[in-house]
Amino acid sequence: MTAIDTYFATRATVRAYTDKEIDRNLLINLIELASHAPTTGNMQLYSVIVSSTRQEREAISPAHFNQPQVTSGAGVVLTFCVDINRFCKWCSINDAEAGFDNMQALMYGVLDCSMFAQQFNTLAEMHGLGCCYLGTTLFNAPLISEVLCLPDRVIPLITLTVGYPAASTVISDRLPVKGIIHDGLYHDYSGDDIRELYAEKEALPENIGFVRENGKNTLAQVYAEVRYPRGMNEEFSAVLNNYLDKVLFKADPIKRDE
């Protein structure tokens, strides 16, 4: 196994950071390198908001349910946004009509932004930094948008906390690779397939404890009924749909004389 193989096999999420500052030039260089990730039509439909001061990180923290890694140590918070605004303004001043107020354009931006963020994550970790993806960005997109003063057509998608690791980390479990590869055509899973693929995950002591602590009978029940229940999914879906209507699908058109 090569050094690169080892890195990917052993990488882990870092949720606590030291007080060592991230050099500004290093951060800018990593962002620039990450911008060479693949992008739809070379449009680069993304931007990143850097929250580096304690005040800036504390301002964004409630939108992420005050998770401690947001304000931990001297880390920074990076909010990766789908940015259709910049592209549409470029079109506007060049007498071009951009038809980007639709789901397809949003997906362009989601793809671009995701690849950009993940390339940054990999580069940062290869330079000795630790990262944590926050799963709360799309839950509270309207609040994040307000805190960061995002205009129409700029949508927060991914948040990474970044800093120098304060402690050792635990590698998360993963499904066997045979469970995610489909040769030629999609092979649907039988009940026996599912039981085999998830057996190791379900047998981990921490997951057995997770089931017990939540008063459930199976790990699947914890995920589907406690962590990501239908009611919560539907509530946040409605919030997100309303927000997207307002800032993208039904946003005021950009005037050509701007």
DSSP assignment of 90-123 equals: HHHHTT-----SSHHHHHHHHHHHHHHHHHHHHH
Question: Given pLDDT bands bounded at 50, 70 and 90, which one contains residue 141?
Answer: very high
* Contact indicator for 172, 12 with CB cutoff of 8 Å: yes
Alpha-carbon distance values, 148 to 79, 142, 162, 204 (Å): 9, 10, 18, 40
Given a cut of 80, whether residue 86 has pLDDT beyond it is yes
Residue 23, pLDDT score: 97
Residue 254, pLDDT score: 86
Given a cut of 70, whether residue 258 has pLDDT beyond it is no
Please, what is the Cα angle at 33 between 30 and 39, to 5 degrees? 125
Question: Given pLDDT bands bounded at 50, 70 and 90, which one contains residue 257?
Answer: low
Residue 167, pLDDT score: 84
* Contact indicator for 58, 72 with CB cutoff of 8 Å: no
Q: What is the pLDDT of residues 144-167, one digit of tens each?
A: 999 999 999 999 999 999 999 998
* Contact indicator for 43, 91 with CB cutoff of 8 Å: no
Residue 1, pLDDT score: 86
What is the arithmetic mean of pLDDT over 72-91?
97
Listed by start position, the domains of the chain span 3-169, 177-227
In whole angstroms, give the CA distance from residue 151 to residue 134: 22
Residue 142, pLDDT score: 98
In whole angstroms, give the CA distance from residue 228 to residue 193: 24
Q: What is the pLDDT of residues 10-24, one digit of tens each?
A: 899 999 999 999 999
In whole angstroms, give the CA distance from residue 175 to residue 189: 14
- Average pLDDT over the chain, rounded to an integer: 96
Q: What is the pLDDT of residues 175-187, one digit of tens each?
A: 999 999 999 999 9
In whole angstroms, give the CA distance from residue 155 to residue 110: 9
What percent of the chain lies above the pLDDT cut of 90?
93
Given a cut of 80, whether residue 126 has pLDDT beyond it is yes
- CATH fold for domain 3-169: NADH Oxidase (3.40.109)
Q: What is the pLDDT of residues 206-222, one digit of tens each?
A: 999 999 999 999 999 99
Task: Say which residue the tokens 């330079």 belong to.
Answer: 127
* Contact indicator for 69, 75 with CB cutoff of 8 Å: yes
Alpha-carbon distance values, 219 to 14, 136, 137 (Å): 24, 22, 25
